Chain A
Amino acid sequence: QQPVQSPQAVILREGEDAVINCSSSKALYSVHWYRQKHGEAPIFLMILLKGGEQKGHDKISASFNEKKQQSSLYLTASQLSYSGTYFCGTETKAAGNKLTFGGGTRVLVKP
């Protein structure tokens, strides 16, 4: 089953913050976050493996709440380059190394 991402879209002004959530109905082994620019391939941002783990990439960070079966991606002090569609990919122990992707969250950062 596909993880659910929210919101579906968000519009930000440069410098504003945003949170993207990814929820699964199944127990998760890991959560992967990707960003895709229009017409381009998805680019890997980060993997979260352990419950409660937080990782950061520049001013983009993420957390993983294993108990709640969800992950959140935090865009802090957003930059124009953060615009794109963000996908979470979830991996369950049962599925074994296969990712199931959410429907994506479209982010537009305006000057």
Chain B
Amino acid sequence: DADVTQTPRNRITKTGKRIMLECSQTKGHDRMYWYRQDPGLGLRLIYYSFDVKDINKGEISDGYSVSRQAQAKFSLSLESAIPNQTALYFCATSDSRTSSVETQYFGPGTRLLVL
């Protein structure tokens, strides 16, 4: 079984709709991240959470919100989807307790198309 899972894997929605992307992990990591990937722009950080009660904005948080429901779950919401939010979205996790330098482990991604 995959350590980091994302649902759905693919989603088509219309402009103005609210949608939620979910991420779950079984790695026991305390830190979780949401990134979006656009061609040629690499991975850009949307939000991150260092523990259940901690939520932080990344470089491109406008139009998004998150919820850390439990240590293992981190959801990303698009309050009112717009076409330029069409992208590939990745969730990632890391463990702050084992090393001062953390490796991030990525989920399989959610491909979102906003019409």
B-binding residues in A (CB < 8 A) = 2, 8, 30, 32, 39-44, 47, 49, 87, 89, 91, 97-104
**B101 close to A42 (CB less than 8 A):** no
Majority DSSP secondary structure for residues of A touching B: loop
The 5 closest A-B pairs by CB, nearest first: A41-B106, A101-B42, A101-B43, A103-B42, A42-B106
**B101 close to A47 (CB less than 8 A):** yes
Interface size on B, as a range, is: 20 to 34
How far apart sit A39 and B111, CA to CA, in the bound complex (Å)? 9
Contacts of B96 in A (CB 8 A): 97
Contacts of B43 in A (CB 8 A): 42, 87, 89, 101
**Contact sample, A vs B, 21 pairs, CB 8 Å cutoff:** A32-B103, A39-B109, A40-B108, A40-B109, A41-B90, A41-B109, A42-B106, A43-B106, A44-B104, A44-B105, A47-B101, A89-B104, A97-B31, A97-B50, A97-B94, A97-B102, A98-B58, A99-B104, A101-B35, A102-B42, A104-B40
Residue of A whose beta carbon sits closest to that of B4: A41
How far apart sit A103 and B37, CA to CA, in the bound complex (Å)? 10
